[in-house]
Amino acid sequence: MNTLSVEQSYTYIFSLPDSSERDIVKVTFSTEDILRVRRFLDCAETFLDTVIARRGFPIRVNLEFTEVTLSAQWTRPSDDDMAIYLHRYRPLGLKS
């Protein structure tokens, strides 16, 4: 099976607001590179749409001390929210 490999070249010019200096960077991406970046972006968008990624990782801890006892109460994300978060993070964490 033959695959067509196309390269795409880009030129980026970087400069600071209060400087006349410029850095020019030329890069070339293969078709495989472009597909890999697109897959990464798809995974990132899916991950960022999870409840935990949107709202943060909500944990609340309440400690109460008396002379003889210590009591603790806490809340954390639901098991379902954690499972979704970890499942959607997995492609990013393992393949980045």
Q: Where are the domains of the chain?
A: 8-95
Mean pLDDT of the chain: 86
Find out whether 85 and 52 touch, Cβ atoms under 8 Å. Answer: yes
31-48 and 79-95 are packed helices; what angle lies between their axes, rounded to 10 degrees?
A: 160
Tens digits of residue pLDDT in 55-93: 888 889 999 998 889 999 999 888 999 999 899 988 888
Alpha carbons 82 and 65: distance in angstroms, whole number = 30
